[in-house]
Structure 1
Amino acid sequence: MNRIFLVKVRQFSKALVIGSALSLGMFICVSVNTTTAEAITSGYVDKGDKKGYWIRGKKDGNVYSKYKNYKMEDRASVVNGAGDTDTSGWKSPDTYGVAKRDWTFWGTNKTYYNYK
């Protein structure tokens, strides 16, 4: 199982593979949180620059990710333990992206955010 907790890339023009997902383009940040606690966690990301705010965890029976970057396009995404995915799609700066799927008690529920 591939787990990436925080990856920062300054200039990126090749394919980035995360598990079985393939992303192309200029990504500045990709982060994943393996969610096992049955509660919501939130806080600023990239604390030194306070580039965004991320809310993630279990909410209303779903694995949940909500992310907002203050200056760049952003998106949130999730993968539940069954491999089902959801993504918010790219959002304008200072706009929340929200993704959620049914929480599973098998496998690993994961939450992601990224911005470009």
Structure 2
Amino acid sequence: MPFDEVGDISVEIKTFIRRHIHSIAILDVLFFLKHREYKAWTPQEVSVEMRSNPGYAKSQLEELVASGMVCREGAGYRYLVSDSAETVEKLELLYNTRRSSVMNYIYSQPIDNIRDFANAFKIKKD
């Protein structure tokens, strides 16, 4: 179940989101591919369907490849039924029934990676 006993997002889903999902856009791309397994989608095609630019679509697709939920197939990308498939199903159910809860949880996560990246460019005083 995507909910715990008190109706909050389950620990399983929270852990999955923290590890793999940093934006609603990447979640939308994941669900888009999941429901269109019949072909491999190029970044250009995904960008048209998702109304984004091809470079951004490619970066999202590559993130999903790195997380093991999508595979490359020639010049395209296809949803990969993996060990995470059951969790993806639960997350999609939750997203479809309590979208604002999922959105709030995704965007309430710390941005440590972004902060670490930005800190790498800080000029240190001697």
* TM-score of the superposed pair, with normalisation by structure 1: 0.27
Q: Which gives a bigger RCO, structure 1 or 2 (Cα 8 Å, sep 6+)? A: 2
* TM-score of the superposed pair, with normalisation by structure 2: 0.26
Higher helix share: 2
Q: Pick the structure with greater CA Rg.
A: 2
